[in-house]
Structure 1
């Protein structure tokens, strides 16, 4: 059983804006809810795997090796800035569907390895299960993160889908995508703190 305090911590950590929230909201707006489902599932599974490995001790290793931490931060920053640029230059759906595609399941899973917010929340959450054995802690975090994050992903993708329907004006659409790209770029800069 997952303690309520851990569930609340995970929910607040994952629900607040960060790279996944921004990408899912933008994807829901650009491509629609149905086309974003593989992305949603990839994020939920990827976050669970990352959290589970953190509970098994990988998070402690990363924190203990400053050079590895810096390499992960630089990789995360570069990838997030690339995604911000992609959002900025994206086109309006349905034209976007001919030229661009939403994240695949695998891309979304792999993105979690360089998502600094997920690592930060997972490392902090591991303190909630520190009294358990490594396998139990890893399993508890994997299940909690995947289950809670699935709801978070569904919410933000639905919100983006609704926004996409409201933003029929090209000027409003460009402003929305510029805000999404700027938020994504800002999250890249926060990696180095």
Structure 2
């Protein structure tokens, strides 16, 4: 029988949020291969964030309102900045200063990604087992990382396929505008957590 945690994590991570939007846009703009460090950074970062949440970091954030507010402000600032960069982008790019996320940037982004905190808190509280704390953190962290790796690969590949449909500058402008607006809208989730 499948652990219900896996289904919860899959559906929570597969639905659109900052990572899905950024990976789809990166796959379309930079291609599958150049986006792989971003994919791996998201998968590892989500695993670390969810494992630490299972160990009690999430409860600490909820218990210290000023810490939670600082994280929320950092999150919304970073998300809006990324949305602005995406909005100002010009579609496919292979050179210049515009580039996909690095592995480290993608790992660090998970610390201010509101969707990951919400899903990790729900998983740690709703799908906890009777394992010792360290084993429980490993269980939840590995579930998030493993499932999210495949989710990230799917959305990156979907973005790569979208690039074939985006043949004109107008098509790219519409695509990047829609993705930037969706990313900015996801920034408002920060204050719902």
TM-score, structure 1 length as denominator? 0.95
Counterpart CA distance in 2 for 1:164 and 1:49 is: 31
Equivalent position of 1:100 in the other structure = 98
Alignment partners' CA distance in 1, 2:102 and 2:27: 13
Aligned residue number for residue 118 of structure 1: 116
TM-score by length of 2: 0.95
How far off is 1:121 after superposition?
Answer: 0.4
Per the TM alignment, residue 47 of structure 1 is displaced from its structure 2 partner at its CA by 0.3
Q: Counterparts of 1:37-52 in structure 2 under 5 Å?
A: 37-52=36-51
User: 2: CA distance between counterparts of 1:126 and 1:12?
Assistant: 16
Is the 2:114–2:189 Cα contact (8 Å) retained in structure 1?
A: no
Whether the aligned pair in 2 keeps the contact of 1:73 and 1:192 (CA below 8 Å) is yes
- Partner residue of 1:166? 165
* Aligned length in residues: 191
Which stretch shifts more, 107-116 or 3-12? 3-12
CA contact (8 A) 1:57 1:134 kept: no
Provide the residue aligned with 2:153 in structure 1: 154
CA shift, 1:117, in A, is 0.6
CA deviations 1:123-148 (Å, max 9, x no partner) are: 10002125332101100011100000
SS in 1 for 2:75: helix
Alignment of 1:1-193 (within 5 A): 4-94=3-93, 97-127=95-125, 128-129=127-128, 131-193=130-192
Unaligned runs of 5+ in 1: none
Within 1, Cα distance between the matches of 2:2 and 2:116? 19
Which whole-Å deviations, capped at 9, do the CAs of 1:28-65 have from their partners, x for residues lacking one?
Answer: 00000000000000000000000111111111111111
8 Å contact kept, 1:18–1:117: yes
Whether contact under 8 Å (2:115, 2:189) holds in the other structure is no
Kindly provide the CA deviation profile for residues 130-168 of structure 1, in whole angstroms up to 9, marking residues without a partner as x.
533210110001110000000000000000000012101
Q: Cα RMSD over matched residues?
A: 1.3
User: Which whole-Å CA distance do the structure 1 matches of 2:54 and 2:2 have between them?
Assistant: 15
